[in-house]
Chains A and B, each alone.
Chain A
Amino acid sequence: MDAVTPLGRFWQEFRESHVALAALAVVAAIVLLALAAPLIAPQNPYDLTQLVLMDARRPPGHVNARGFTYWLGSDAQGRDVLSAILYGLRISMQVGLIAGAIAFSLGATLGAFAAYWGGRVEMVIMRFVDLQLSFPAILLALVLAAVLGQGKWQLIAALVAAQYAYFARTTHGAASSERAKDYVAAALSTPLPARTVVLRHILPNCLPPLIVVATVQVANSIALEATLSFLGLGLPVTEPSLGMLIANGFQYLLSGRYWISIYPGVALIVLIVAINLVGDQVRDQLNPRLKR
C-alpha cells in the first residue's frame, strides 16, 4: 500500500465512490475543453468573417452550403452553437474561478484574523458577516451589479461581495477552535509576528471545511454569474458567457427553436452538477459524524 499520506488515504476513499469519480472526470474534461476551445472549436464564433447570416437559427445537424455541420444548430447571428458553448464555458469558468479565489482569500483572511484578535474586532467583523449572510447572495449580487455597471471586473466584484461571507463564517468557526489549541499558544510564544501565526499555522488547519465551501462556492458563482448575465446585469456582450447565450436564445425558445438556449444550459448544468457531486463526496469524507 502506498497510501500512507493523508492525501493518499483521502484519494483512496474518494475513488470508492464511482459517482464522485465520474463527476471529477467530467469536471476535468470540461476544464480541458474550455482551455482548448480556440483549438478544437469548429468555428471562432466571434470572428465575424466566419459567420454566415444565411445560416441563422438552423436546427442541430444542419449542413450548410460550404459543408460545415452545425452539430448543435446555429443562433440568430448564424453562429455555431457548439463553438459558442466552448467559448462560453471558458468565460464562465474564468469568472467563477477568479471570483471564487478572491472570495476565498478575502473571507479566509478576515475570518482567521477575527478569530485571532477576538474581542471587539471579532464581534464587529462577524456581526457584519452574519448580517450579510442573512441576505440572499443573489439579491446582493443583483444590486451590486446594477450599481457598479457592466463589465467583467464589476461582475467579479459583485460575486466576491456576495460570497466572501461564507468563507469568513467557515474560517472563523474553524479558526476559533484552532486558536485554543496548544500549538497556537506555542507558536505565539515565539517571536513570530501575528500575521505569520495566523497565515502559516492557524489557516492551514482550517483548510478541510474551507475546501468543501470552495467547491460549492465556485459552482455557485458560475450559476450566479449565469443568472446575472441572463437578467442582463452580467458580462458585456463582448464576453458572452453561458448565461448570456441562454438569454440570447430565450426569445427563440418561444417559437420552438430550443437549441439556442437549451444546449448552453445543458453545458452549464453538467458543469455545476459535476462540481457539486465532487463537493458532496469531499464533504461526506471530511464529516467526522459520518465516519465509519
Chain B
Amino acid sequence: MSGFILQRLMQAAVVMLIISALVFTGVYAIGNPIDVLISPDATQQIREQTIRAYGLDQPLWKQYADFLGRLARGDFGRSFIFNMPVLELILSRLPATLELTLVAVIGATAIGVPLGMYAGYRPDSAVAKLIMAISVLGFSVPTFWIGLVLIYAFAVTLGWLPAGGRGPTVVLFGIEWSVLTLEGWKHLFLPALNLSLFKFALMVRLARAGTREVMLTDTVKFARAVGESEGVILRRHVLRLIAIPIVTVFGLEFGSTLAFAVVTETIFSWPGVGKLIIDSISVLDRPVMVAYLMLVAFLFIIINFLVDIAYAALDPRLRVGRT
C-alpha cells in the first residue's frame, strides 16, 4: 500500500510540474506581459528597468525556473489590481466559495440519491418519469440561464429573496459564514440551488442507473427470498452497492462544482474565488490567473489522489495490479 501511495505521489508531482509549465506558457508567454505591466507612454529607461525587475530579459527557461522557485516558496506575486499578495487575496475569497459549494453538493446528494433510487426502483411510474424529466432539464439547461430565471422569479417578481451578494456573515473560527443566520441563508439559497441543479441531475441519474442494475441481481432476489421488506432491501443492499460510484462522483464533482461556481458567482455577485477569477481575466490580472489555476490544479490532483487511495483501499485488485 505504501508503495502504491508513493508511486501515486510521484505521479502527482510530475503532473503538477507539467501543469505549471502549461500555465506558465499559457499565461505569461502568450501575449506580451510587458504591455500589461508598463503604460504605453513610459520612457525607454522605465521600460528596461521594469523588464529587468520582473526578470523578463532572462531566457524563457530561466524565467520558468524562477517562477517555479517562487511557487515553491508560496510566493504567487502581487495582484496588479488589488495590489496585495495573490495568495492572501485568494484565501480571503475561498471561504465564500467553499461554503456555497458544500451546501450545493451536499444538498444535491441528499435529495438526488433517494429520488434517483426511487426512479430506478419503479422506472415506469409517473413520479419516476417526472424525476427523470427534471434531471434531463438539470443536465441540459445551462447553469447561467437557470440562475437568471431564479433571479427573475424569486428576486424580481416575488421579491422573496435578494438578487445577489452575500449579505451579512458571522465569524466563527476566524472564517465568515452565511449558514449561521437566516439572512445569510436568504442570500445563500438561490446561488446554492442554482449550483446544485447539475449535481442533482447527475446524482439522480447515477442512483437510478445503479438501482436499475442492482435490482436485477441475485443479491436482491435472495434478499426477497428470505422475506426482507422492499424498504430494507433498498436501504441495506441497494444503497450500499451503489454507494461506491456515488462517493467517487461526490468527490470528483466537488472539484468541478468549484469550477462551475465561476458562473453562479458571476450571476449572483457572490464574492468568492470564481467571481475573482472572472474579474481578473477581464482585466488581465495575470498573477491572480496563474495562482488560481495552480491552486485549482493542485486541488484536483489531491482529489484524484484521494479517490485513487480510496479505491485501492476498497478494491484489493487495484493494489496488486499497479504496484
Contact = CB atoms under 8 A, between A and B. Distances in A.
A136 interface: yes
B163 interface: yes
Interface in A6-64: none
- Interface class of chain B by DSSP: helix
Interface string B195-232: 00000000000000000010000000000000000000
A227 B143 contact: yes
Contact of A146 (B152, B267, B281): B281
Interface stretch (A78-86, A174-182, A205-213, A258-266): A258-266
A134 B252 contact: yes
Nearest to A232: B282
A134 B304 contact: yes
B145 interface: yes
A143 B142 contact: no
Contact of B262 (A139, A232, A268): A139
Interface stretch (A112-120, A187-195, A248-256): A248-256
Contact of B281 (A136, A230, A233, A246): A233
Contacts, number: 101
A227 B146 CA distance: 12
Contact of A138 (B145, B260, B267, B304): B260
Interface string B240-279: 0000000000001001100110110011000000000110
Given A131-B15, A143-B26, A268 B142 contact: yes
B48 to A, nearest CB: 27
A278 B133 CA distance: 14
Interface string A144-168: 1011100000000000000000000
Interface in A270-286: 272-273, 276-277, 280
Contacts of A280: 136
B26 A254 contact: no
Contacts of A246: 144-145, 148
B90 interface: no
A227 B142 contact: yes
Nearest to B262: A142
A289 interface: yes
A261 B282 contact: no
Contacts of B26: 143-144, 147
A261 B278 contact: no
B30 A147 contact: yes
B300 interface: yes
A265 B282 contact: no
B296 A139 contact: yes
B263 A138 contact: yes
A185 interface: no
Given A134-B300, A139-B262, A253 B148 contact: yes
A223 B139 CA distance: 11
B144 A230 contact: yes
A68 B281 CA distance: 41
B141 A136 contact: no
B15 to A, nearest CB: 6
Contacts of A134: 252, 300, 304
A229 to B, nearest CB: 10
Interface in B262-308: 262-263, 266-267, 277-278, 281-282, 289, 293, 296-297, 300, 304
A21 to B, nearest CB: 16
B136 A269 contact: no
Interface in B19-52: 26-27, 30-31
Contacts of A103: none
A276 B156 contact: no
A129 interface: no
A233 to B, nearest CB: 7
B177 to A, nearest CB: 26
B252 A273 contact: no
Contacts of A135: 259, 296-297, 300
Interface centre among B26, B142, B259 (most CB of A within 10 A): B142
A142 B281 contact: yes
B128 to A, nearest CB: 14
A231 to B, nearest CB: 6
Nearest to B129: A19
A72 interface: no
B136 A262 contact: no
Contact of B163 (A232, A254, A262, A268): A254
Given A226-B142, A250-B267, A269-B140, 12 more contacts: A134-B304, A136-B259, A142-B277, A144-B26, A231-B144, A231-B266, A243-B142, A246-B144, A261-B148, A262-B152, A265-B145, A272-B142
22 contacts: A134-B304, A135-B259, A135-B296, A138-B259, A138-B260, A139-B259, A139-B262, A139-B296, A142-B281, A143-B26, A147-B26, A147-B27, A226-B144, A230-B144, A231-B144, A246-B144, A246-B148, A254-B151, A258-B156, A265-B149, A269-B145, A276-B136
In order of increasing CB-CB distance, the 5 nearest A-B pairs are A136-B256, A139-B259, A136-B259, A146-B281, A265-B145
